[in-house]
Structure 1
Amino acid sequence: MRDYIKKDPWNIIEEGFDPALNRISESIFSIGNGKMGQRANFEEKYSGSSLRGSYVAGVYYPDKTRVGWWKNGYPEYFAKVLNAVNWIGIDVHVDGEELDLATAKVESFTRVLNMREGLLQRQFIATLPSGKKIQVRSTRFTSIVDADNGVIRYEVTPLNFSGSVRFTPLLDLNVFNQDSNYDEQFWIEVSRAVSNGKAALTGETKKTQFHVAAAFDLALSLDGAEQALQAETMSQEKKVANVVEIQVAQDKTVSLFKFAAIVSSLYSDKTQIQSDAEKSAAAARAKGFDTMLKEHSEAWVQKWAECDITIEGDVAAQQAIRFNILQMNQTYTGEDERLNIGPKGFTGEKYGGVTYWDTEAYCLPFYLKTTDPKVARQLLVYRYKHLQKAIENAAKLGFKNGAALYPMVTINGEECHNEWEITFEEIHRNGAMSFAIYNYINHTGDSAYLAEYGLEVLIAISRFWRQRVQWSERRNAYLMLGVTGPNEYENNVNNNWYTNLMAQWTLNYTRESLAYVQQQHPERYAAIMAATKFGEHEDELSIWADIAEKIALPRDEQTGVFIQHDGYMEKDLQPMSAIPKGEYPIHKHWSWDRILRSCYIKQADVLQGIYTFEGNYDKETIRKNFDFYEPLTVHESSLSPCIHSILASSLGYEDLAYKFYLRTARLDLDDYNHDTDDGLHITSMAGTWMSVVEGFGGARVKQGQLHLAPALPKQWQSYSFRICFRGALIKVAVTEQAIILENESDVGLNLSVYGSEKSLPARQILTVARD
């Protein structure tokens, strides 16, 4: 754990420059707008350790899978989120001497991520080897109003001399991915152009042939007065630049404005993509820095008005939750059904792909409750559009008749993960896809989604489960053999409780959905029956009902808890407190063989299932399972602490709930797992939001009604959050004495508070005493 980020409710602040922390800060201070993102690399050249990263949504490269022993069914490639054109670069020379913070003496360094406005700011004083001292201030944002544009204001002030300042703003496609198999570069130059104050560069990805064009348009001012810009031009393979030199008197400030545009062939025709980028950069330049910043800031203010969480009395917790909300909104906007949420978002390259099961299990609840329902709907449509690929993925593994296995890792619907115990065995992801459909409909009331998209997905997934189980005469039950649950510290196990539970639930929900669509949308039902050839091969409804009734979901008679998987209770069940402190995290200190034989859980399996279907279990059952499994869980998955926090809240374990909340909330800010330098854990950030709203706030949706049962952590004086629910926007404020519900919309709502029915008319406030 590191503790160098200053605590502040609305800002992420780094004071002082420590090169050893720079790559961590590059992740933490990342910015994005759903269409592109940028790590917090320096604009000026930096020869120290840095992971340069500029990412464009939906653009990827299918890097050849590298494994020592090829197995049938392995995907041919691993999709890489590509490091794209470096658009932020501005080399700086002072009287011919290069500015490089790796060689300069740096003082009063401050880096700030202004979360209220989505703004990255940096300032420092540097003494160059010659003794010349300058002050530098930079301001950068990726506009959420003009989503193709990134804008930089870069200011230099000579402090102990008068002399020349030379800026070299550039576009550079000589970029690398840190995880490329053979140090390969993935971009080919298509075209470039450069003129006074302007430049453009277009690249094409190898194999996938995406085009990305970048352009910039410049402006220059001296002490606030705009200057005529006379630039030399530079043009070479994969790189274009302007060279702008100006004389600056001591204590005067020169400002370079770089208006950039990044356009991909997802949105622009390849024949005119560079022209489109040039026009976009010129339009940004015409609008001007101040106007673009004002519009961008106002848009962020509106976002915060819908999704902010306030916490009084705990600055660390307040800062952390806003940081998580910021990154979620920077990563995904729901405007394009072809895009999704990668585990690192726009902050790094690790893991590859653009979506895991994390999206449905963790991210969907955040978007369901914080914004327009169409945003969450787009996440589901994304999966629907990949249904045929999911059927092909299953067919590669031997499944038939339209059975679908959604990929563990994907960018276009094809499986691209190459670890056998995950690619072939971590099939619980299918359950997350089906539950997401139910979760969306239960929250929004959009039952029409079943007929339009959802039912086809449910049928295909149910067909997979039907073929994946096998009947055991000895146990008089359907078994699921050779799987890996969410807990990846146990591979190739039989009857993982969570996986079997998700299969059972899906089979039952699909049967209910078939009956609903048949009754409410008969024409669409007939079309689906014909398209899926439903029931032509066997009596699917009867078989699904039989499997759901008889699937193995064993409970331990001695302890009364659900058994995580066959054989788990035969392990040496020593609590994690028995592990010597010097051996954490165990995945960095133990052999894989030792981990697999141990009882230790990377992330909740049984508890994940209980969280998902909490309403099906009484408190005593939940308590027994939590008390049994929590001491055995090492939380070495970023997705684990939030589930424990939510369940601990529901059980009244206040200290544990808060402990797990803070761990998930500050996972990246405090670099808990010593891996923030690779990028942020975006999907676990959604879990942090769940920890507050579903955990401390007790928010649930039961049979289409919103239920609240807020608790107040003793570390907090009060807190508040907002929930979008069926057209209403409800602000929930929790104090020591009361729950204050404010309906900020024109839609009235009936809801339950501590189990008591309440009516909350439009634009009204309701106060309820704390239970």
Structure 2
Amino acid sequence: MRDYIKKDPWNIIEEGFDPALNRISESIFSIGNGRMGQRANFEEKYSGSSLRGSYVAGVYYPDKTRVGWWKNGYPEYFAKVLNATNWIGIHVNIEGEELDLASAKVTNFKRVLNMQEGLLQRSFVATLPSGKQIEVQSTRFTSIVDCDNAVIRYAVRALNFSGKLSFVPLLDLNVVNQDSNYDEQFWVEISRTAAQCSAAITGETKKTAFHVACAFKLAMEHDGDDVSYTISPFSQDKLVGNTVNFTIEQGQTVSLIKYVAVISSLYADKATIQTTAEASAAAAYSKGYATMLKEQRAAWAKKWAECDITIEGDVAAQQAIRFNILQMNQTYTGEDERLNIGPKGFTGEKYGGVTYWDTEAYCLPFYLKTADPQVARQLLIYRYKHLGRAIENATKLGFKHGAALYPMVTINGEECHNEWEITFEEIHRNGAMSFAIYNYINHTGDVDYLAEYGLEVLIAISRFWRQRVQWSERRKGYVMLGVTGPNEYENNVNNNWYTNLLAQWTLNYTRECLALVKESNPVRYTEIAEKTHLGGHEDELSIWADVAAKIVLPRDNQTGVFIQHDGFMDKELLPMTAIPQGEYPIHKHWSWDRILRSCYIKQADVLQGIYTFEANYDKETLKRNFDFYEPLTVHESSLSPCIHSILASSLGYEELAYKFYLRTARLDLDDYNHDTDDGLHITSMAGTWMAVVEGFGGVRVREGGLQLNPSLPKQWQAYSFRITFRKSLLKITVKPDVICIENESDVGIELAVYGQAHNVLGRQVLRLPR
């Protein structure tokens, strides 16, 4: 755990430059706008340790899988979100010396991520080997108003000299990915051009043939006496830019403003993509820095007005939750159904940057409650559009009749995960897809989604579950063999409780939805039945009902807990406190064989299921299972602490709830697992938001109705959060003696607080005692 980020309610602040922490900071201070993202690399040349990263949404490369190719059904590639053109580069030369923070003496270094406005700011004083000193101040942002644009304002002040200085703004396509299998470069240059105060370059990805064009337009500013600039364009293999030469006087400040456009072939015709990017950069230049900054501030103010969480009396917790909310909004905006949410977002390359089940299980609740319903709907449509590929994935594994297995990892609907125990066995992801449909409809009331998209997905997933189980004569029930649950520290187990539970629920829910659509929209029902050949090969609905009724859900008669999987109770059930402190995390100290034979749980498994279907269990059942599994859980998945925090809140375990909240909230800011350097844990950040709103706030949606059961951690004086529900925007404030519910919309709402019904009219404030 590291503690070098200064505590501040609205800013992420690093003071002093430590090269050993630079890659961590590059992740933490990342910026993005849903269409593109950029790690906090330096604009100027830096020869020290750095993970350069500029990422473009939806652009990927199918890197050849190096293991498993001999297994039938095994993915042929692992999809990588690519490091694309470096558009931030502004090299600086002072009297023949290159500015490089790895060789210069750096003082007064400060890096700030202004979360309120979505700005990355940096300042420092550099003393070059010659003794010359400059002060640098830079500000950059990716616009959330003009999503193809970014802008950098880079200012240099001469502190102890007068002399010649050069800015070299550039676009560099000569980029690599850190984790490519064969150290391959994935980009081929298509075209480039450079002119005075402008440049552009277009690259094409190998194999997938995506085009990405980058362009810039420059403006110069200075204070004091007039400055004469000579600007020379340059163009060479995979590199274009300008060299801006001028003479600077001691005490004078000269600034370069770099207006950038980054456009992919998802949004522009390949034949004209470079001219489109040039026009976009020129439009940003015409708008001007001041206007772009003003619009950026206004757009972020609007976002924060819909989703901010305030915490009084705990700056560390306040800073952390806003950081998490910021990154969620920088990663996904819901404007394009072709895009989704990678575990690292736009902050790093690990996991390929593609979509996991995390989206449905963790991210969807955030967008359901903080954005227009269309944003969450787009996430579901993304999966619907990939249904054909999900059916293909299942067919490769031997499933028939339109059964679908959604991929564990994907960017285009095709499975591309390269670990067999996950690719073939972690099939609970199918349940996350089906529950997401229910979750969306339950929150929004958009029942029409079923007939339009959802029912086809549910039918295909139900067919998978029906074929994946088999009848056990010995147990007189349906069993599911050879699976891996959310707890990846146990592979190839039988009857994972969580997986079987999701299968049971999906089969029942699909039958309910079929009946609903048949009654409400018989024409569409007939279309779907014909399209999917429903009942064409067996009495599917009756069989689904039979499987759901008789599927094995292991339970221990002695303790009354749900058994994680067959054989779990045969293990030596020692609490995690028995593990010596020096052996954490166990995945870095123990052999995989030892981990698999142990009782230790990587992340919530049974408790994940109880969280998902909490309404079906009484408090005693929750307590019994939580008290049993929590001491065995090592939380070496970033997705685990938030679920435990929510359940601990439900049980009144206030200290545990707060402990797990802070762990998940500051996971990246404090580099808790020593892995922030390769990118942030974006989907875990959604879980952090859940820990506040669903945990401490006690927010639940039951049968289409909103319920609140707030608690107040003793470390906090008060807190508030905003949620959107059925067109009502509510600000909920929890204090020691009062709960305040402010309806900030014109739409009234009925809700329950501690089980008591209340009606809150539009623009009304309801105050209730705690």
Please give the range of the TM-score, normalised by the shorter of the 2 chains. over 0.9
In structure 1, C-alpha distance between the alignment counterparts of 2:348 and 2:225, rounded to whole Å: 38
Say whether the 8 Å CA contact 2:227–2:246 is kept in structure 1.
Answer: no
Alpha-carbon deviations, 1:504-549, whole Å to 9, x = none?
A: 0000000000000000011100000000000010000100000000
CA distance in 1, matches of 2:581, 2:267: 51
* 1:223 Cα deviation from its structure 2 partner: 1.2
Q: What residue number does 1:651 align with?
A: 651
**Within 5 A, what are the aligned runs for 1:418-457?**
418-457=418-457
Q: Residue 182 of structure 2 aligns with which residue?
A: 182
1:119·1:141 contact (CA, 8 Å) conserved in 2? yes
Deviation at 1:90, TM superposition (A): 0.5
CA contact (8 A) 1:78 1:353 kept: no
Distance 2:353 2:240 in 1: 30
Aligned to 1:407: 407
Shift, 1:125, TM fit:
0.4
Contact 1:219–1:229 (8 Å) recurs in 2? no
Residue correspondence of structure 1 range 571-720 to structure 2 within 5 A? 571-720=571-720
Matched, 1:336 2:336: yes
Contact 1:409 1:415 in 2 (8 A): yes
CA distance in 2, matches of 1:303, 1:69: 46
Q: Which amino acid aligns with 1:525?
A: Y
Q: Residue 515 of structure 1 corresponds to which residue in structure 2? A: 515
Name the structure 2 match of 1:265: 265
Cα deviation, 1:546-605, whole Å, max 9, x if unaligned, reads 000000002101111000000000000000000000000000000000000000000011
Query: SS at the partner of 2:58?
Result: coil
2:61/2:206 contact within 8 Å kept: yes
Match of 1:310 in 2: 310
Rate the CA distance shift 1:503–1:68 in 2: closer, same or farther, 3 A: closer
Give the Cα separation in 2 of the matches to 1:225 and 1:498.
71
One-letter amino acid of the counterpart of residue 45, structure 1: K
The one-letter amino acid of 1:569's match is: M
- Matched-pair contact (CA < 8 Å) for 2:117–2:301: yes
Describe the superposition over 1:313-345 as per-residue Cα deviations: whole angstroms up to 9, x where unpaired: 000000000000000000000000000000000
2:487/2:601 contact within 8 Å kept: yes
Shift in Å, 1:70: 2.6
Deviations 1:691-715 (A, max 9, x none): 0000000000000000000000000
Q: CA deviation at 1:233?
A: 1.4
**What is the CA–CA distance in structure 2 between the aligned matches of 1:681 and 1:228, rounded to whole Å?**
47
Q: Which residue of 2 aligns with 1:346?
A: 346
Letter in 1 for 2:458: L
Aligned residues: 770
Q: Does the 8 Å contact 2:712/2:735 carry over to 1? A: yes
Other-structure match for 2:94: 94
8 Å CA contact retained: 2:743, 2:765: yes
What does 1:20-35 align with in structure 2 at a 5 Å threshold? 20-35=20-35
Deviations 1:77-130 (A, max 9, x none): 100000000000011001111000000000010000000000000000010000
Aligned residue in 2 for 1:486:
486
Q: Structure 1: which amino acid aligns with 2:64?
A: K
Kept after mapping to 1: 8 A contact 2:69/2:75 = no
1:229, 1:601 → 2: CA distance?
63
CA distance in 2, matches of 1:416, 1:476: 37
The one-letter amino acid paired with 1:387 is L
Structure 2 counterpart SS, 1:259: strand
Q: Encode CA deviations 1:253-273: one digit per residue, 9 max, x unaligned.
A: 000000010000000000100
CA distance in 2 between partners of 1:225 and 1:616 (Å): 74
* Alpha-carbon contact 1:219-1:226 (below 8 Å) kept: no
How big is the shift at 1:228?
6.8
Return the offset for 1:225: 8.6
| Number of the residue aligned with 1:743 | 743
Q: How much has 1:312 moved relative to structure 2?
A: 0.2
1:229 deviates by: 5.0
Residue 226 (structure 1) shift: 8.8
In the other structure, the counterpart of 1:469 is 469
Find the counterpart in structure 1 of residue 234 from structure 2.
234
Mapped pair 1:218 → 2:233: no
1:163 touches 1:249 (CA, 8 Å); kept in 2? yes
Q: Please tell me whether residue 108 in structure 1 is matched to residue 93 in structure 2.
A: no
Q: Quick check: 2:224–2:252 contact (8 Å CA) kept in 1?
A: no
Alpha carbons 2:136, 2:156 under 8 Å: kept: yes
Structure 1 residues 456 and 229, CA gap change in structure 2 (3 angstroms): farther
Matched residue of 1:146: which SS? coil
User: Is the 8 Å Cα contact of residues 133 and 160 (structure 1) preserved in structure 2?
Assistant: yes
Identify if the C-alpha distance between structure 1 residues 247 and 442 changes in structure 2 by more than 3 Å, giving closer, same or farther.
Answer: same
Distance across 2 between alignment mates of 1:726 and 1:225 = 59
Give the deviation of 1:230 after TM superposition: 3.2
CA gap 1:224/1:761 in 2 versus in 1, 3 angstroms: farther
Other-structure match for 1:56: 56
Contact 1:38 1:347 (C-alpha < 8 Å) held by counterparts: yes
Does the aligned pair in 1 maintain the 2:650–2:698 contact within 8 Å? yes
Matched residue, 1:119: 119
Partner of 1:417: 417
CA pair 321-286 structure 1, distance change in 2 beyond 3 A: same
Moved more, 685-694 or 548-557: 548-557
Tell me by how many angstroms 1:246 deviates.
1.2
Aligned twin of 1:381: 381
Partner of 1:367: 367
Q: Distance in 2 between matches of 1:599 and 1:69?
A: 32
- Residue identity opposite 2:438 in structure 1: Y
Confirm or deny: 8 A CA contact 2:576 2:600 kept in the other structure: yes
User: What residue identity is the alignment partner of 1:145?
Assistant: V
Match of 1:534 in 2: 534
Instruction: Read off the aligned partner of 1:240 and give its amino acid letter.
Output: V
Q: Please give the per-residue CA displacement for 1:650-704, whole angstroms capped at 9, x wherever unaligned.
A: 0000000000000000000000000000000000000000000000000000000
Change (3 A) 1:224 1:667: farther
Q: Secondary structure at the match of 2:720?
A: strand
Alpha-carbon shift at residue 69 of structure 1 (Å): 6.3
Query: SS in structure 2 opposite 1:14?
Result: strand
Find the residue that maps to 1:144 and give its secondary structure. Answer: coil
In the alignment, the residues of structure 1 paired with residue 539 and residue 425 of structure 2 have an alpha-carbon distance, to the nearest angstrom, of 27
1:209 is aligned to 209
> What is aligned with 1:159?
159
The equivalent of 1:320 in structure 2 is: 320
Distance 2:571 2:93 in 1: 64
Q: Amino acid of the residue matched to residue 440 of structure 1?
A: Y
Is the contact between residue 197 and residue 229 of structure 1 (CA under 8 Å) also seen in structure 2?
A: no
Judged with a 3 Å threshold, the aligned counterparts in structure 2 of structure 1 residues 531 and 345 are, in CA distance, closer, same or farther, namely same
Task: Name the amino acid aligned to 1:746.
Answer: D
Deviations 1:585-641 (A, max 9, x none): 000000000000000000011000000000000000000000000000000000000
Give RMSD over aligned pairs.
0.8
Percent of paired sites with the same residue: 79
C-alpha distance in structure 1 between counterparts of 2:10 and 2:624, whole Å? 40
Amino acid at match of 1:162: S
Measured in 1, the distance between the counterparts of 2:354 and 2:146 equals 23
2-side partners of 1:482 and 1:406: how far apart? 17
Structure 1 segments unaligned to the other structure (5+ residues): none
